[in-house]
Amino acid sequence: MALLTSELKAAVGRQLPPVRAEVTRREICKYSAATGQRLQRFIDGDEAPPMFLFGLFLPILPREQLGHDGLPPDTGLVPELPLKRVMAGGTQQTWFRGIYPGDVLVSRQTLLDLFEKEGAQGPLIFAVVENRVETEAGEPVMTERSTRIAR
């Protein structure tokens, strides 16, 4: 049975507005201390550990815009799906260069695909989101594909 209507499928290809963020040595040093990095270039903030990018583009919102669970509202990139139990799938990253203090990076998120499969315990819907991170000058830094699975 098709769960994904043509209306839902029409959301494929839509994008969020680009998000721009500056990388500072102090933010890298905080991240490195918080994650127990042992390589001196990360501890000193000369370069950022790769997963530093995960937090760089998270929204900064006032308390009253956060939910009871502490989370910001959903971005709306993935439309509301007919299956409600959502699990994180995998994250795949391709890296083109490191991240350094002074970099100004831009993140562009696109809903790349929505598809369904019949799982052993019923239908599953997969939503694939692409996050392209580039420098302001357009040099690729990292491209990531994350999958959300609804069941």
- Which residues would be at the binding site for another protein (CB under 8 A)? 27, 30-31, 33-39, 49-51, 54-55, 58, 60, 66, 69-71, 88-95, 98
Which CB, 43 or 81, lies closer to another protein? 43
Give which of 4, 21, 25, 7 is closest to 123, Cα–Cα.
4
**Least separation, in Å, of the C-beta of 26 and another protein?**
11
Which CB, 8 or 125, lies closer to another protein? 125
**Least separation, in Å, of the C-beta of 52 and another protein?**
8
Which CB, 39 or 104, lies closer to another protein? 39
Distances (CA, A) of 133 to 15, 24, 51: 14, 17, 13
**Least separation, in Å, of the C-beta of 9 and another protein?**
25
**Least separation, in Å, of the C-beta of 129 and another protein?**
14
Q: How far apart are CA 59 and CA 17, in angstroms?
A: 13
- As beta bridge partners, residue 22 has 104
Instruction: Work out the number of other CB atoms within 10 angstroms of the CB of residue 62.
Output: 6
The backbone torsions φ and ψ at residue 53, rounded to the nearest 5 degrees and listed phi first, read -60, -25
